[in-house]
Amino acid sequence: MNADHALPAATSASVIRPAWRTIALGTLVWAAISALGALQTYSDNLRTGVESHYGTLLATWFVEYAIPLMVLSFVLSTVLARWPGLVARPRNVVPLFVGLVLLFQPAQWLYIAWLRGYLVIGSLEDVRRLMLKMLLVGWFTTTATFAAILAMHYWRQAKERELAWQRTQNDMLNLRLALEEQRMLALRAQLEPHFLFNALNAISALVRAGDGKVALGGIARLSALLRYALTASVHNTASLADELRFVRDYLDLQRLRYGERLRVHIDGDDETLHQVDCPPLLLQPLIENALRHDLDCHDGPGDLRVAFAREPGALRVLVSNPLGAACSPNPGAGLGLANTRDRLRLMHPAATLTAGPHDGRFVAEVRLPLTD
């Protein structure tokens, strides 16, 4: 069977399924109503002394009333499932109901009259008496059945719209997560070569200075740094304690280049850092940015400061360096800081990075939310 023939079959099945569910429910409902109606008639007959049998009354109720209304439920459900536009607008409901009454009600009357033997007509007077008998039959049940089927149709449509909306939201969420994951991978791929380039620059400066022994030590340190970077790159988060150890090794490598000019003060290093997660390689770009806009801008000693401060609901990480006349007017616009902002946002919406001059120093401040 090809796809062109399979599609109409599937569409037809999807239309029939709601109608069959409706007729099954209608059968149960009208069977219960017939049972109650027959019980009421049987009770009335007992009070008036009329002999009757409950089984016969139940069959009469079911055949005369339930079967026509079950057929009506099935047909109406199928029509609405196939052409939902018939009741898409409220103004279309009344014409549909009028048309239903004009078609169904006379058919129901003829059906009941046939079952009761009223169709033996010999004169116009017989026709008049038949009409008087039938005119009051079925109006309420027909109207109630129409309203119930219409309500079920609207409920089913609302449920389908809600499910479709949920599927759309899930698809959008999955797509967003996939895009964010790809963005995170791209940011890592961009960051790690950048770090490697700067580390190799530090070692090349030692080689050019002719200090081979120190350069070999730098290569060993770089090897340890790269091992951490490769290990961290396969995880979405790392602890601040691990990041700080990595930064200390990185500073030892940079000290081979800057010597005694590299002066670093770290404050607030305690056990709290082991419990705080952050993106891998978070601190290194901040340290690198501070070095580049401090020691690379003058010949004297530097003053790099790193501070960790806990506050309600968050941990602040401050990395600062002095501002000098030779410094860049906007040292916060580099690649490392831009990537760090993006990676923090991807990790947690409340994680932020702000950078700018403050009291004669350039300060990069990271806020990491704390989870209980």
pLDDT digits (tens, 9 = 90+) for 39-66: 888 888 888 888 888 888 888 888 877 7
Which pLDDT belongs to residue 33?
79
**Structure tokens that stand for 199 in this block:** 């580390």
Degrees, nearest 5: CA angle 209-214-216 = 110
Which pLDDT belongs to residue 274?
84
Both 223 and 360 in a single domain?
yes
Both 231 and 155 in a single domain?
no
Q: Per the domain annotation, does 201 fall within a domain? A: yes
Q: Per the domain annotation, does 310 fall within a domain? A: yes
- Helix residue spans in the chain (DSSP H): 3-48, 54-61, 67-82, 93-116, 124-134, 139-208, 212-232, 240-258, 283-292, 335-347
Which pLDDT belongs to residue 11?
44
Both 155 and 224 in a single domain?
no
Which pLDDT belongs to residue 244?
92
Both 329 and 362 in a single domain?
yes
Count: domains in the chain: 2
The rounded distance, in Å, linking the Cα atoms of 112 and 66 is 11
Q: Per the domain annotation, does 3 fall within a domain? A: no
In this predicted structure, the answer to whether residue 199 has a pLDDT above a threshold of 80 is no
Strand 264-267 versus strand 304-311 pairing type = parallel
Which residue type, as a one-letter code, is found at position 245? R
Cβ distance 162 to 170 under 8 Å? no
Listed residues 129, 159, 181: the one ending a domain: 181
Is 320 exposed, middle or buried (CB count within 10 Å of its CB: 0-12, 13-18, 19+)?
buried
Residue with the bigger pLDDT between 236 and 303: it is 303
- What's the average model confidence in pLDDT over 163-189? 69
**Nearest of 35, 25, 81 to residue 62 by alpha carbon:** 35
Both 212 and 346 in a single domain?
yes
Both 225 and 363 in a single domain?
yes
- Using alpha carbons, list the distances in angstroms from residue 114 to 59, 127, 272: 16, 13, 89
Which pLDDT belongs to residue 267?
92
What's the pTM value of the predicted model, to 2 decimals?
Answer: 0.49
Which pLDDT belongs to residue 272?
82
The string of pLDDT tens digits covering residues 88-103 is 787 888 888 888 877 8
Query: For residue 8, what pLDDT band results from cuts at 50, 70 and 90?
Result: very low
Which pLDDT belongs to residue 100?
80
Query: For residue 264, what pLDDT band results from cuts at 50, 70 and 90?
Result: very high
The string of pLDDT tens digits covering residues 206-261 is 677 776 777 777 788 778 877 887 777 677 788 899 999 989 988 888 887 788 88
